[in-house]
Structure 1
Amino acid sequence: MKRGLSAGRVQSVALRVIADREREIQAFNPIEYWVLRGRFAGKVPPSFWMKLTKLDGQALQLGNKATKRRIENAAQAASLKEQILQTAWKVTGLETKEKRRNPAAPFTTAKLQQEAANKLRFSVQRTMQTAQRLYEGVEFGEGPVGLITYMRTDSPRLAPEAIDAVRDFVQKKHGKDYLPAKARIYTGKSGAQDAHEAIRPTDIARTPESLRGKLDGDQFRLYALIWRRTVASQMEAARFDETVVTSEGALSSGAVATFEAAGEIERFPGWLTVYRADEAEQRAEAVTESAPDEEEAEHVGLPDLQPGETLKLQDLDTDQQATKPPARFSEATLVKELEEDGIGRPSTYASIISTIQNRDYVKKVEGRFKPTELGLAVSDLLVQGFHEFMDPKYTSAMEAKLDRIEEGELSYPKGLKELYGPFEKLLKTAKQDMDNLKAGVPSGESCPKCEAELLKRFGKNGLFLGCSRYPECDYTRDLEPMDEPEDAPECPLCGTSPMNLRRGQWGPFWACPNYPNCKGIVKADPKGIPVPADEPTGETCPTCGKRFVKRHGRYGVFVCCEDYPGCKTVKKEVLGVPCPKCGGDLSPRKGRFKAFFGCTNYPKCDFTSWDKPVPQSCPKCKNPYMVEKTRKPRGKEPIQVLLCPACKHEEPLG
């Protein structure tokens, strides 16, 4: 197997959730349907659009939800359009009712992660790191001040003193009309850990505006989100008047067609005063007392209408549509899915999401998770060998069992025995029966070279298809071909174009399509873009006498012997600053996580610096060099400075 792979009770189930969704998408067959919209005018403007929703009282398909009737093709749509244009229309139904939207509960960890992803475009990890800094404290000159309560919690409840503080703030700031007669009390779902209250500001009087310029951008935006949600949670409901108008007409075919439209007017903003969201977000995220069974209707601006009023059809559109496959998971929707299924704890979601990406099990495509071939293969193997443990219901039940152990309802030894007994049996069975991807698993495809079966195999560079007759037949193919740039290069040996992008031991490269007859290659950068050929520098290698060339490597441009790596002589870039430890030269280096600067005499000399040394002496202490640093004043643009590492003297760069 490939090195660096892992499995776990939560991460593997999270991977399965993503893999199962991908298979749903692949198996999805869209269903065609047509939507008719008419623009009608009453006695007074404005005109408004209504949608054909029923025929003979039966609902028409207007989305993914299946109905008994649908307009199946262009011919049916054209026939209906012709009849509708010849039909007289009037208002046959007019109903107005008050609609109330209650505020959402204060944030739990999972809800904060989802809301920050939707509204601030924060990753789960970014949200938790920022919340951690707000909890630990921000320096205001009098020591660090913790701005929010503990950010790892399953409970939406607020402490009584916090509720009193918020209600007092609302009454003073917005008046008694915005304050419910009784405090709103929120409780968590069954099984939720209630040791910590909801995520809220430690002092509700510390408004976001009072902290502007004192927090960095991420801290300010997340604090404002938490503050607004907390205040809104204790405010009066928003009230709307929703009007639904219907118009029925008898078509020439004898069928009765029904058009419908809905309009909405805000009568009282309530909690939306402090937590105003986009119209779509209001419907998706607020708790609605009168939520419809189907998707929320489109709201349009309606004129003043009367029952029985004649309507004039001014325009009629026909629109071909199709049912849509389920969407891939974003970080927000994945967190929601895991939370609703009781998989893992919200406090671990950031590390779980990070792990499945680092293992190359999933990758993000347009902000959504798509399983790699490796991820699909690993998930399938685990489901094959550990079906019970890969069931989301098992993981959820396991979480409940751990809670019972924590609460003293179940002894630790008994709980461990109930878990490990079945697992040990499955482990022994899996070792014998599970497919071995290193040896090869049948793919169902034939080798284009010799017609033998192709096998899915793991190599040091990941999953690939290889001929089962290897080594007699050496055909291989990447399971996940790289996205080729538009401009493919021409083979430097035989002139054939375009070349094929391949992935090798040292990364992507372009290979001649005539291989193995022609072995021409062109180097590529990590994105597959061809890199320029070696460029002679006019210098001679002191080791072997060959030319020095400028070459593009995986870490950028460097100067080396043209025979590299046969001759390993590399000319290192130097900064012109003597090493303060041994007097050698300092040069830029590539580290595992970031660039740094080190002595060219390494490993004999281990001097390093994260900041770039500059050959400029300190005007204060005469130290022979200074270093470049970036300062980030709160609320201001970053500035570049020169700092003396000896006496800490600092001056603006340039």
Structure 2
Amino acid sequence: MKALYLNVCPNCGRGEEDQRLLKGLPCPVCFPYEVEPCSLPEKLQKLRKHCHFREKVKEFERFFEERFGSKPWNLQVYWAKRLILGRSFSILAPTGIGKTTFGAVAALFLGGRTYIMLPTSILVVQVERLLKRLGARNVVAYHADLSSREKKEAKERIAKGDFKILVATSMFLSKNFSLLEGKTFDFIFVDDVDSLLKKAKNVDKVLMLLGFTREEIDEALKAVEKPGQPVKVKRKRRGLLVVSSATAKPKTRRVKLFRYLLGFEVGMPIGGIRNVEDVAVFPAEENVVEAAVSLVKRFGGGALVFIPSDMGREKIGEVVEALRKAGVEAESYEKLDEKLIEKFTKGEIQALVGISSAKNPLARGLDLPQTIRYAVFAGVPKNRILLDFSSMTIPQCFAVMIAVKAFLEPNQANRYLWELKRYLTVDPEKNEKARLLLEEVRRFLSEALMKPEVLKRIEESPNLWLDRTPEGFALLIADAAGYLQASGRTSRLFAGGISRGASFLVVDNVKAFNDLKRRLSWFLDEAEFKPVEKVDLNRLFEEIDRDRRKIGELRAGRVTEEEKSLVKPIMVVVESPNKARTIAGFFGRPARRKVGNLTVYEVNAENLVINIVATGGHIFDLTVGRGFHGVEVNEYVVPIFETIKKCVKCGEQFTGEPTCPRCKSEEFLDKLSVVEALRELAKEVEEVVLATDPDTEGEKIAYDVASMLKAFNDRIVRAEFHEVTRRAFTEALKATRSLDIHLVEGQTVRRVADRWVGFELSQHLWKIFGSRRLSAGRVQTPVLGWVIERTEEAKKKQGLLTVQADGFKVKLTIPDAEKAKELYETLEKVRVEGGEEWVETVNPPPPLSTDALIREASRIFGFDANLTMQLAQDLFESGVITYHRTDSIRVSTAGMSVAHRYMAENGMEELYKPRKWSEAGAHECIRPTRPVDVEQLRLMLYTGALRGRLTGKHLRLYDLIFKRFMASQAQEAEVKKRRFKVKAGDFEEVKEFTVEVLKEGFYRFIPVKVETLPEGEFEVSSKDLKLIPSKPYFTQGSLVEQMKERGIGRPSTYAVTVSRLLEHRYLVERKKFLFPTSLGIKVYSYLSQRFGSLVSEEFTRKLEEVMDRVERGEIDYNEHLLRLHQELKELLEANV
């Protein structure tokens, strides 16, 4: 392939061919020969800065190696790159990487005035010694172990500014800011941001030490209070700030000042990933405490023991005492302090006992990856809520309603849940709306739940435990968040990946256990408890202890060169900002920052630090005004691409124009800024992963990005995943590939053909009809012809006679409209004769492809094609369905597993019958990614297990996709059918009905209508006649169905084709049916008469087939485009 990209030469900004760009070379005007650009400094322009950056990175690596005698970690080089580029940032890194060491080395390397801020005096002493060992001079360290005289001397030096590097705690900043006020630092390294953020004003103090004024900070605070308000900051050199990530959510909103003034946010990399073996223990004769003690006695130290909230805090003492009696040194979380943690770390205490709640300090704040080996739950984590409707709080009402939603009126329950969610943190005593809502919900729950039949259904439920107590009824609700938080303490991120952990759940209540499993499935892709007898416990603890030894070696600095390269910083490029957010959310709360106009999400994932960024769709399109409609045609066909501009005023996208072609505005956003930001990011990382959509358009975007970045990073790979789930994403990162040039060529052929045909035909329309708003295309023109033809056919009418007689109603379709009118006038009786009856096996329908989804959403909900595809896009990016632009109905083994799990977990395993539906291929059908039906999806939205703005329309479409997929994986149905002959006057029609369902099968998901007719002669009680088209008008859904059947268009263009015909007013939509306008008829008539072969269905179908063959690499892309160009020239010349 040959292509020219305008204005993108990395050195001078001229145009450059893709082949040179992919070699990392500037354009031939800058560098006539293929040489390493940095080797010819006299030729450097824009690349001079990049070459200097590369040299500074090498200088840092040498600097580090000279002082430590070994190479730095990959991540330490990554952080150094960001400092060299002048960026402040939050460090996201697993334990054992050497963050503190980096801070000390960076202070020496940068050479300016530095403040290294540490959480404890012990660390201050250690860092001071390290700095002096590395040759640092003029260091002042202030800590608690200094004598009074030494403290006085240190403060005097700090006040005078007689230091190069200050090493002190964040407490020192709080208490002695007057000594530092007025001084500015070139670099501040905060080793524990949690300590810094304990006092909100510390944020302001740090910013002032970096050179920001009080006025600038106050201005930024206004933007924190009212997001969207611009922040005015004087452009001058500031100091750099590097902070470690938070382990707890910052309580002060002032932390957002870092975002507004320094371009980054503090991340919180917790809760997203775990490597825990979840083990279920069903005690035979022991009680739960005895069973828990037995486990700790067997497996030894490094244990966290949790009791459920419903047992009460007093139970903790009983568990501690039972452990001690068994010879296990144990202590309660209530006595937790630094000394106790130290004893636990040394093994002097073997077990700590707490409550299995996300708020408990053992579950929330204990981060000891080298020490904690396993957790034991003495009972299922659960909360007990007394159903006292006069005193229940908003959070309690919300929790109860989530638990019992299946027993409530659905519309009312859904409305209350959405409203309660808004007021979860609001005090109803201080908010009138919250108080009224609470009263209303209490009444609703009281009336609904206290009915005897409802109480009986709750008691019979496999997931809910209803306690009858003297105070009244109490509901036990499993605490999934508490379980995840507490068990997650056993598995932490470190330089070797995610440490292995174990969680033993001693089951005290089977219903609560079932509820826990159900709720965990909302948060985890695969939530599975293995019975203890089926787990190889010796092997499990070998893996656990192996990882603890590795962590210990890392912390002691005993690291091989190979281990230093284990954790790799990468950049992942996707198209959609929503998809970027969803992926980032898989791994905790990401650190966010701005590079140019792009938002970057940074997360930890096993042995990767991932920067996720979105292009916002296509970056380039064909230019205008050069070559043949943006394509040079000589011996080779060379498309000329230019960055897309978007008008700020009207939203028009264009290329090749200095102003917006629609409204003439000079205000527009140029995607050249996206290219520049991506290039800046590519400098930081070791590898760029192009994870755009898994189709030809996604491949072309990936090719464009690769061409732009090769000069800045030569390690670029492609990753492909068909569902936005953590499992699919991580698997894709492990199975990267090179770009598929045939897919890129296929997409380019499609774009060039669309441009050539569309522009030529459109220019003729402009001349004839005098309007530049008109356009024509190779796909939309034949489709317009179908609608015109169908409208003509629909003029022939037939009669639809609806007859009501003796309690039944029947519809008769009479082909002759006149005969229908006559029959309507004279009909007084109908006769029904029963006919043949038989048993039939009915196979389920296949799962949905794009065309079927658009058709069914149109038929069932009346959704237009554009709406359906936008809703499906949102569902895909939220991670709940697979890729929605597909013509495949294939079901993967992962898809079959989703169906099997859902049916097994919901008492329908006998229905399961897996089917592939199609042989293996690159694409798959549209299906759910989890075994979660629409009601469970609602609960995930209410509880925050699924984040996203999904509306009722999204949920209706998801329900359609889910039920259709489950049906495709279910047993056949067996029904009894019967024919009836209905006689009305001299007209008769045979009707066929399903009269009985013998075997439900897939009808469990897509119910069938069961109906019959009585036999005999009946008086007509009422009748109605409608004259309807003999052939139905097209709907958007049925028109897309025609496009699929006739081989015109592709999943990515179905909706676009229909919407363009409506936008240009060639079609209008009335009552969901499509009709041609007079303009549409005139345009089609002109085009079909003048350019019949060019706008024919046959031409377009053959072109689609050729494009498919190019994608498969069966024919040469250049030869085909040359042939197409020649054909177009001849056709156009013949029609001049």
TM-score by length of 1: 0.48
Structure number with larger C-alpha Rg: 2
Higher RCO (CA-CA < 8 Å; seq separation 6+) = 1
- What's the TM-score once normalised by structure 2's chain length? 0.29
